[in-house]
Amino acid sequence: MARELTNDLTWSVSRARLFRTCQRAYFFQYYGAWGGWDVQAPEQTRLLYILKNMTSFPLWGGSTVHDIIKDALVEFRATRQMPDLPTLQAAARNRLNAGWKQSRQKEWLQDPKKCTNLFEHYYAQDGEQVPPEEIAALRTKVFDALESFCNCGILQMLETLPPTQWGSIDTLSSFIAGILPAQDNAPELPLKVWCALDFSYVDQEGFYHIIDWKTGAEHRDELRLQLACYALFAMETMRVPLEKIRLEGVFLNDGGRISTYDINNETLLAAKDQILKSAQAMRAKLQDPVANLADEETFACTSDTSVCARCPYQKVCPNFNQQF
Ligand code: SF4
Protein backbone atom coordinates (compact mmCIF):
# COMPACT_ATOMS: atom_id res chain seq x y z
CA MET A 1 0.00 0.00 0.00
CA ALA A 2 1.37 3.45 -0.93
CA ARG A 3 2.54 5.52 2.04
CA GLU A 4 0.47 8.61 2.61
CA LEU A 5 2.40 11.83 1.96
CA THR A 6 2.45 14.26 4.87
CA ASN A 7 3.84 17.76 4.91
CA ASP A 8 6.39 17.64 7.73
CA LEU A 9 8.82 20.27 8.93
CA THR A 10 12.21 19.17 7.63
CA TRP A 11 15.41 21.03 6.83
CA SER A 12 17.68 21.38 3.81
CA VAL A 13 20.27 23.90 2.71
CA SER A 14 17.99 25.21 -0.06
CA ARG A 15 15.00 25.48 2.30
CA ALA A 16 17.06 27.47 4.80
CA ARG A 17 18.35 29.72 2.00
CA LEU A 18 14.82 30.54 0.83
CA PHE A 19 13.67 31.18 4.43
CA ARG A 20 16.49 33.73 4.76
CA THR A 21 15.88 35.28 1.34
CA CYS A 22 12.10 35.81 1.41
CA GLN A 23 9.73 34.28 3.93
CA ARG A 24 6.71 34.76 1.67
CA ALA A 25 8.40 32.81 -1.12
CA TYR A 26 9.27 30.17 1.50
CA PHE A 27 5.59 29.96 2.47
CA PHE A 28 4.51 29.55 -1.17
CA GLN A 29 7.14 26.87 -1.79
CA TYR A 30 6.74 24.67 1.28
CA TYR A 31 3.10 25.27 2.31
CA GLY A 32 1.05 26.98 -0.41
CA ALA A 33 2.12 24.58 -3.17
CA TRP A 34 1.62 21.46 -1.06
CA GLY A 35 -0.73 19.03 -2.81
CA GLY A 36 -0.57 20.92 -6.12
CA TRP A 37 0.73 17.84 -7.94
CA ASP A 38 -2.90 16.71 -8.01
CA VAL A 39 -4.66 18.10 -11.10
CA GLN A 40 -7.82 18.25 -8.98
CA ALA A 41 -6.15 20.51 -6.38
CA PRO A 42 -7.67 23.98 -5.76
CA GLU A 43 -6.70 26.43 -8.52
CA GLN A 44 -4.33 28.51 -6.34
CA THR A 45 -2.56 25.42 -4.99
CA ARG A 46 -2.06 24.07 -8.51
CA LEU A 47 -0.78 27.45 -9.69
CA LEU A 48 1.70 27.64 -6.80
CA TYR A 49 2.87 24.12 -7.61
CA ILE A 50 3.47 25.17 -11.23
CA LEU A 51 5.42 28.24 -10.06
CA LYS A 52 7.38 26.16 -7.55
CA ASN A 53 8.61 23.95 -10.37
CA MET A 54 9.57 26.86 -12.61
CA THR A 55 13.24 27.33 -13.40
CA SER A 56 15.30 30.13 -14.90
CA PHE A 57 18.26 30.27 -17.27
CA PRO A 58 21.00 30.19 -14.57
CA LEU A 59 19.31 27.40 -12.59
CA TRP A 60 18.44 25.47 -15.74
CA GLY A 61 22.05 25.57 -16.94
CA GLY A 62 23.26 24.30 -13.57
CA SER A 63 20.70 21.50 -13.32
CA THR A 64 21.46 20.41 -16.91
CA VAL A 65 25.16 20.09 -16.07
CA HIS A 66 24.35 18.14 -12.90
CA ASP A 67 22.00 15.77 -14.75
CA ILE A 68 24.51 15.07 -17.53
CA ILE A 69 27.31 14.43 -15.04
CA LYS A 70 25.10 12.15 -13.00
CA ASP A 71 24.15 10.08 -16.06
CA ALA A 72 27.81 9.95 -17.20
CA LEU A 73 29.06 8.71 -13.82
CA VAL A 74 26.31 6.10 -13.57
CA GLU A 75 27.28 4.85 -17.04
CA PHE A 76 30.98 4.94 -16.21
CA ARG A 77 30.43 2.91 -13.05
CA ALA A 78 28.34 0.32 -14.90
CA THR A 79 30.47 -0.04 -18.05
CA ARG A 80 33.91 1.31 -17.06
CA GLN A 81 33.62 3.45 -20.20
CA MET A 82 33.40 7.18 -19.67
CA PRO A 83 31.44 9.00 -22.39
CA ASP A 84 33.76 11.54 -24.06
CA LEU A 85 33.26 15.30 -24.06
CA PRO A 86 31.48 15.55 -27.47
CA THR A 87 29.02 12.88 -26.30
CA LEU A 88 28.31 14.76 -23.07
CA GLN A 89 27.90 18.06 -24.90
CA ALA A 90 25.56 16.48 -27.45
CA ALA A 91 23.47 15.04 -24.60
CA ALA A 92 23.34 18.48 -22.98
CA ARG A 93 22.27 20.08 -26.27
CA ASN A 94 19.46 17.53 -26.67
CA ARG A 95 18.30 18.09 -23.11
CA LEU A 96 18.30 21.88 -23.52
CA ASN A 97 16.42 21.64 -26.83
CA ALA A 98 13.81 19.31 -25.28
CA GLY A 99 13.39 21.60 -22.26
CA TRP A 100 13.09 24.67 -24.46
CA LYS A 101 10.31 23.00 -26.47
CA GLN A 102 8.47 21.90 -23.33
CA SER A 103 8.61 25.45 -22.04
CA ARG A 104 7.51 27.10 -25.29
CA GLN A 105 4.66 24.64 -25.76
CA LYS A 106 3.60 24.82 -22.10
CA GLU A 107 3.84 21.08 -21.65
CA TRP A 108 4.32 21.82 -17.94
CA LEU A 109 0.57 22.48 -17.71
CA GLN A 110 0.17 18.69 -17.80
CA ASP A 111 3.28 17.78 -15.82
CA PRO A 112 4.81 20.71 -13.92
CA LYS A 113 7.49 18.60 -12.26
CA LYS A 114 8.87 16.77 -15.28
CA CYS A 115 8.49 19.43 -17.98
CA THR A 116 10.66 22.54 -18.08
CA ASN A 117 8.91 25.84 -17.46
CA LEU A 118 11.27 28.76 -17.98
CA PHE A 119 10.86 32.01 -16.08
CA GLU A 120 12.11 33.76 -19.21
CA HIS A 121 9.10 32.43 -21.18
CA TYR A 122 6.46 32.52 -18.46
CA TYR A 123 7.02 36.14 -17.51
CA ALA A 124 7.88 37.45 -20.98
CA GLN A 125 6.01 40.62 -21.88
CA ASP A 126 3.94 40.54 -25.09
CA GLY A 127 6.06 39.22 -27.94
CA GLU A 128 9.28 39.47 -25.91
CA GLN A 129 11.90 36.94 -27.04
CA VAL A 130 14.93 35.61 -25.21
CA PRO A 131 17.88 37.37 -26.93
CA PRO A 132 19.98 34.94 -29.05
CA GLU A 133 23.14 36.01 -27.20
CA GLU A 134 21.60 34.83 -23.89
CA ILE A 135 20.83 31.46 -25.44
CA ALA A 136 24.37 31.20 -26.81
CA ALA A 137 25.83 32.23 -23.43
CA LEU A 138 23.86 29.51 -21.65
CA ARG A 139 25.01 26.85 -24.12
CA THR A 140 28.64 28.00 -23.76
CA LYS A 141 28.36 27.91 -19.97
CA VAL A 142 26.99 24.36 -20.01
CA PHE A 143 29.57 23.16 -22.55
CA ASP A 144 32.45 24.79 -20.64
CA ALA A 145 31.31 23.20 -17.38
CA LEU A 146 31.25 19.76 -18.99
CA GLU A 147 34.71 20.32 -20.43
CA SER A 148 36.00 21.22 -16.96
CA PHE A 149 34.36 18.10 -15.57
CA CYS A 150 36.22 15.96 -18.11
CA ASN A 151 39.55 17.69 -17.40
CA CYS A 152 39.45 18.26 -13.64
CA GLY A 153 41.38 15.08 -12.83
CA ILE A 154 38.64 13.30 -10.93
CA LEU A 155 37.69 11.10 -13.89
CA GLN A 156 41.31 10.10 -14.46
CA MET A 157 41.56 9.17 -10.78
CA LEU A 158 38.29 7.20 -10.95
CA GLU A 159 39.71 5.03 -13.74
CA THR A 160 42.09 3.56 -11.16
CA LEU A 161 39.42 3.08 -8.51
CA PRO A 162 37.21 -0.03 -8.35
CA PRO A 163 33.46 0.74 -8.44
CA THR A 164 33.16 -0.72 -4.93
CA GLN A 165 34.94 2.42 -3.69
CA TRP A 166 32.46 4.72 -5.37
CA GLY A 167 29.79 6.19 -3.14
CA SER A 168 26.60 8.02 -3.88
CA ILE A 169 25.91 9.71 -7.23
CA ASP A 170 23.44 12.53 -6.65
CA THR A 171 20.86 10.54 -4.70
CA LEU A 172 18.37 12.29 -2.45
CA SER A 173 18.78 11.00 1.12
CA SER A 174 17.92 12.09 4.64
CA PHE A 175 19.14 11.72 8.20
CA ILE A 176 18.23 12.96 11.66
CA ALA A 177 20.53 15.87 12.52
CA GLY A 178 19.34 16.37 16.10
CA ILE A 179 16.34 17.06 18.26
CA LEU A 180 14.41 20.30 18.13
CA PRO A 181 13.45 21.14 21.70
CA ALA A 182 9.78 21.43 22.73
CA GLN A 183 8.42 24.81 21.65
CA ASP A 184 5.08 26.42 22.63
CA ASN A 185 2.71 23.46 22.68
CA ALA A 186 4.80 21.41 20.23
CA PRO A 187 6.77 18.45 21.59
CA GLU A 188 10.40 17.66 20.82
CA LEU A 189 10.95 16.93 17.15
CA PRO A 190 13.66 14.72 15.62
CA LEU A 191 14.82 16.96 12.75
CA LYS A 192 14.97 15.26 9.38
CA VAL A 193 17.54 16.84 7.07
CA TRP A 194 17.48 16.25 3.31
CA CYS A 195 20.66 16.14 1.29
CA ALA A 196 21.91 14.88 -2.08
CA LEU A 197 25.67 14.35 -2.30
CA ASP A 198 26.70 15.06 -5.89
CA PHE A 199 29.39 12.42 -5.69
CA SER A 200 31.47 10.58 -3.10
CA TYR A 201 34.24 8.00 -3.18
CA VAL A 202 36.86 6.40 -0.96
CA ASP A 203 40.41 6.96 -2.19
CA GLN A 204 43.34 4.54 -2.04
CA GLU A 205 44.33 5.83 1.42
CA GLY A 206 40.84 5.30 2.80
CA PHE A 207 39.74 8.95 2.81
CA TYR A 208 36.04 9.51 2.09
CA HIS A 209 35.73 12.39 -0.41
CA ILE A 210 32.47 14.33 -0.71
CA ILE A 211 32.26 16.39 -3.88
CA ASP A 212 29.88 19.14 -4.83
CA TRP A 213 29.82 20.31 -8.47
CA LYS A 214 29.30 24.06 -8.72
CA THR A 215 28.40 26.09 -11.80
CA GLY A 216 28.18 29.43 -10.00
CA ALA A 217 30.51 31.55 -7.92
CA GLU A 218 31.99 30.33 -4.65
CA HIS A 219 30.14 31.44 -1.51
CA ARG A 220 32.34 29.96 1.17
CA ASP A 221 30.03 30.32 4.20
CA GLU A 222 27.12 28.72 2.38
CA LEU A 223 29.22 25.92 0.86
CA ARG A 224 30.90 25.25 4.21
CA LEU A 225 27.47 24.67 5.78
CA GLN A 226 26.31 22.52 2.86
CA LEU A 227 29.42 20.32 2.95
CA ALA A 228 29.31 20.08 6.74
CA CYS A 229 25.74 18.87 6.40
CA TYR A 230 26.95 16.14 4.01
CA ALA A 231 29.71 15.23 6.47
CA LEU A 232 27.08 14.82 9.21
CA PHE A 233 25.13 12.59 6.84
CA ALA A 234 28.18 10.40 6.12
CA MET A 235 28.99 10.11 9.83
CA GLU A 236 25.41 9.42 10.85
CA THR A 237 24.38 6.95 8.16
CA MET A 238 27.66 5.31 7.13
CA ARG A 239 29.69 5.71 10.32
CA VAL A 240 32.53 7.42 8.44
CA PRO A 241 34.98 8.79 11.05
CA LEU A 242 35.30 12.58 10.96
CA GLU A 243 39.08 12.46 10.45
CA LYS A 244 38.56 10.40 7.26
CA ILE A 245 36.24 12.94 5.58
CA ARG A 246 37.47 15.28 2.85
CA LEU A 247 35.14 18.02 1.54
CA GLU A 248 35.56 19.53 -1.91
CA GLY A 249 33.70 21.97 -4.13
CA VAL A 250 34.55 21.69 -7.84
CA PHE A 251 33.95 24.95 -9.71
CA LEU A 252 33.11 23.87 -13.21
CA ASN A 253 32.77 27.35 -14.65
CA ASP A 254 36.11 28.29 -13.17
CA GLY A 255 38.15 25.71 -15.06
CA GLY A 256 37.29 22.88 -12.66
CA ARG A 257 39.06 24.55 -9.73
CA ILE A 258 38.85 22.38 -6.63
CA SER A 259 38.22 24.19 -3.37
CA THR A 260 38.74 22.18 -0.18
CA TYR A 261 36.99 22.77 3.12
CA ASP A 262 38.54 21.72 6.43
CA ILE A 263 36.31 20.13 8.97
CA ASN A 264 36.83 19.33 12.63
CA ASN A 265 34.74 18.76 15.74
CA GLU A 266 34.30 22.46 16.32
CA THR A 267 33.11 23.35 12.81
CA LEU A 268 30.85 20.32 12.77
CA LEU A 269 29.20 21.29 16.06
CA ALA A 270 28.81 24.86 14.78
CA ALA A 271 27.10 23.56 11.61
CA LYS A 272 24.76 21.35 13.63
CA ASP A 273 23.89 24.27 15.86
CA GLN A 274 23.21 26.45 12.81
CA ILE A 275 20.90 23.81 11.31
CA LEU A 276 18.91 23.37 14.53
CA LYS A 277 18.60 27.13 15.10
CA SER A 278 17.46 27.64 11.51
CA ALA A 279 14.80 24.92 11.86
CA GLN A 280 13.66 26.39 15.19
CA ALA A 281 13.18 29.77 13.49
CA MET A 282 11.09 28.07 10.79
CA ARG A 283 8.95 26.30 13.38
CA ALA A 284 8.46 29.50 15.41
CA LYS A 285 6.61 31.01 12.41
CA LEU A 286 4.01 28.25 12.28
CA GLN A 287 0.41 28.81 13.19
CA ASP A 288 0.17 25.21 14.43
CA PRO A 289 3.63 23.66 14.99
CA VAL A 290 2.14 20.27 15.88
CA ALA A 291 0.29 19.92 12.57
CA ASN A 292 2.91 21.98 10.65
CA LEU A 293 0.30 24.48 9.48
CA ALA A 294 1.28 27.95 8.33
CA ASP A 295 -0.59 31.21 7.77
CA GLU A 296 0.59 33.18 4.73
CA GLU A 297 0.27 36.54 6.47
CA THR A 298 2.90 35.73 9.07
CA PHE A 299 5.54 35.19 6.38
CA ALA A 300 6.91 38.61 5.43
CA CYS A 301 7.70 39.68 1.89
CA THR A 302 11.28 40.73 1.35
CA SER A 303 12.00 44.39 0.72
CA ASP A 304 14.93 43.50 -1.54
CA THR A 305 13.55 44.17 -5.02
CA SER A 306 16.55 42.46 -6.65
CA VAL A 307 15.27 39.18 -5.19
CA CYS A 308 11.74 39.85 -6.50
CA ALA A 309 13.06 40.48 -10.02
CA ARG A 310 13.90 36.76 -10.42
CA CYS A 311 11.19 35.31 -8.20
CA PRO A 312 8.86 32.67 -9.70
CA TYR A 313 6.02 33.79 -7.40
CA GLN A 314 5.62 37.27 -8.92
CA LYS A 315 2.22 36.31 -10.30
CA VAL A 316 0.71 35.59 -6.88
CA CYS A 317 2.72 37.82 -4.59
CA PRO A 318 0.81 40.85 -3.23
CA ASN A 319 4.10 42.68 -2.74
CA PHE A 320 5.04 42.36 -6.38
CA ASN A 321 1.61 43.30 -7.65
CA GLN A 322 1.26 46.46 -5.57
CA GLN A 323 1.13 49.50 -7.84
CA PHE A 324 1.01 52.29 -5.18
S1 SF4 B 1 7.97 38.57 -5.41
FE2 SF4 B 1 9.47 39.21 -3.85
S3 SF4 B 1 8.30 39.43 -1.95
FE4 SF4 B 1 7.08 38.22 -3.38
S5 SF4 B 1 7.51 36.12 -2.89
FE6 SF4 B 1 8.88 36.72 -4.52
S7 SF4 B 1 10.74 37.43 -3.52
FE8 SF4 B 1 9.15 37.36 -1.99
Question: What does 303-319 look like in DSSP terms, one character per residue?
Answer: S-HHHHTT-TTTTT-HH
Q: % helix / strand / coil in the chain, to the nearest 5?
A: 50, 15, 35
Residues 171 and 192 in one domain: yes
CA of 28 to the centre of ligand 1 (A): 10
Contacts for 162-165 with beta carbons within 8 Å, 24 or more apart?
Answer: 163/77, 163/80, 165/201, 165/202, 165/203
Our mutation pick for probing the ligand 1 site, out of 19, 24, 310, counting the most ligand atoms within 8 A of Cβ, is 24
pLDDT in tens, 26-36: 999 999 999 99
CA of 76 to the centre of ligand 1 (A): 42
Q: Does residue 121 belong to any structural domain of this protein?
A: yes
In this prediction, residue 1 carries a pLDDT of 59
Quote the CA–CA distance of 155 and 77 in Å, as a whole number: 11
Average pLDDT over residues 70-81: 94
What pairing do the DSSP bridges indicate for beta strands 171-180 and 245-251?
unpaired
Residues 145 and 205 in one domain: no
Average pLDDT value for the chain: 94
CATH number at residue 251: 3.90.320.10
Hey, what's the torsion of the CAs at 148, 149, 153, 155, to 10 degrees?
Answer: -150
Quote the CA–CA distance of 147 and 199 in Å, as a whole number: 18
Residues 182 and 277 in one domain: yes
User: CB–CB of 130/120 below 8 Å?
Assistant: yes
Residues 42 and 154 in one domain: yes
Residues 214 and 186 in one domain: yes
Domain count for the chain, please give it: 2
In this prediction, residue 254 carries a pLDDT of 96
pLDDT band at 234 (very low <50, low <70, confident <90, very high): very high
CA of 321 to the centre of ligand 1 (A): 10
Nearest to 148 by CA among 203, 214, 197, 92: 214
Residues 30 and 86 in one domain: yes
pLDDT in tens, 47-70: 999 999 999 999 999 999 999 999
- pLDDT above 90 for 99: yes
Angle at 95 between CA 21 and CA 309, to 5 degrees: 25
- In Å, how far are 11, 114, 218, 276 from 212, measured between CA atoms? 19, 24, 11, 23
Determine what percent of the chain is predicted with pLDDT higher than 70: 98
Domain that holds residue 264: 164-284
Which atom of ligand 1 is found nearest the CA of 320? 1
Residues 71 and 22 in one domain: yes
pTM (2 d.p.): 0.94
Which atom of ligand 1 is found nearest the CA of 304? 2
Question: Terminus-to-terminus CA distance in the chain, angstroms?
Answer: 53
Q: Does residue 296 belong to any structural domain of this protein?
A: no
pLDDT in tens, 243-290: 999 999 999 999 999 999 999 999 999 999 999 999 999 999 999 999
CA of 322 to the centre of ligand 1 (A): 12
- pLDDT above 60 for 19: yes
Residues with CB under 6 A from ligand 1: 22, 24-25, 301-302, 307-308, 311, 313-314, 317, 319-320
pLDDT band at 2 (very low <50, low <70, confident <90, very high): low
pLDDT band at 5 (very low <50, low <70, confident <90, very high): confident
Q: Whose CA is nearest to atom 4 of ligand 1?
A: 317
Residues 103 and 120 in one domain: yes
Beta bridge partners of 293: 288
pLDDT in tens, 173-230: 999 999 999 987 788 999 999 999 999 999 999 999 999 999 999 999 999 999 999 9
Quote the CA–CA distance of 272 and 64 in Å, as a whole number: 31
Q: Does residue 4 belong to any structural domain of this protein?
A: no
Residues 183 and 76 in one domain: no
